[in-house]
Chains A and B, each alone.
Chain A
Amino acid sequence: MSGRTITRAQLSERVYEEVGLSRNESAELLEMVLDEISTALSEGEAVKISSFGSFSVRQKGERIGRNPKTGEEVPILPRKVLVFRPSQLLKSQINDSAKNGSGQHH
């Protein structure tokens, strides 16, 4: 387990190596992918990426919360939350490498 953080830069570099578009266009394509997913979700559409996982939007009802500092009751407004459900394949990919790899615990 290396524990690094991958960002847009490394992802678009991989796209650049894979397809042979310019670096600029690779970055743009990555942005478009995220943009299409975000737009679909904001329109209430679930997004299913086979062998990776699915994203869906869940509506949460209003509930009473509490300001932990003041103890004051505040209503938490009804809102939408995004839920990611990893595919079986992604789950097993992550567990196989955790077992065979560095054998880390926590």
Chain B
Amino acid sequence: MTKSELIARLAERNPHLYQRDVERIVSCIFDEIAAALARGDRVELRGFGAFSVKHRDARTGRNPRTGEAVDVDEKAVPYFKTGKQLRELLNDGEAADAAE
């Protein structure tokens, strides 16, 4: 499912809304999550999952083709941890419990 398919499915469930407004809503949600992460905030959507930012230290990496050492700067990477409910939904509510 792409973003435009998501918008189409939501528009179908909400015939009273303009498709244009559904588009704005979807963009607003993802823009806001991105903005929060850029500020260094966490976004926790209970049952669905949590977005956070993890920091990676600077390290010396290697160009895999030439074997040459290259300095990699420290950086921040976005991270998503799946929520319990969604994890169970993916596993039909059984395997997730057994695995814990």
* In contact, A29 and B10 (Cβ under 8 angstroms): yes
* In contact, A4 and B41 (Cβ under 8 angstroms): yes
A34 in contact with B10 given A1-B40, A53-B78, A91-B77 (CB within 8 Å): no
Residues of B within 8 A of A29 (CB): 10, 14, 22, 25
* In contact, A94 and B37 (Cβ under 8 angstroms): yes
The A contact surface, by secondary structure, is: mixed
A94 to B13, CA, bound (A): 33
Min C-beta distance of B95 to chain A, whole Å: 4
* In contact, B99 and A38 (Cβ under 8 angstroms): no
* In contact, B99 and A98 (Cβ under 8 angstroms): no
Chain B, interface size: which category?
Answer: 35 or more
* In contact, B78 and A86 (Cβ under 8 angstroms): yes
Residues of A within 8 A of B9 (CB): 36
Residues of A within 8 A of B42 (CB): 3-6
Counting CB contacts under 8 A, is B28 at the interface?
yes
A69 to B41, CA, bound (A): 34
Residues of B within 8 A of A104 (CB): 40
Seen from chain A, the residues whose Cβ lies within 8 Å of a Cβ on chain B are 1-8, 10-11, 14-15, 18-19, 21, 26, 29-30, 32-34, 36-38, 40-42, 45-53, 55, 57, 76-82, 84, 86, 90-91, 93-98, 101-102, 104-106
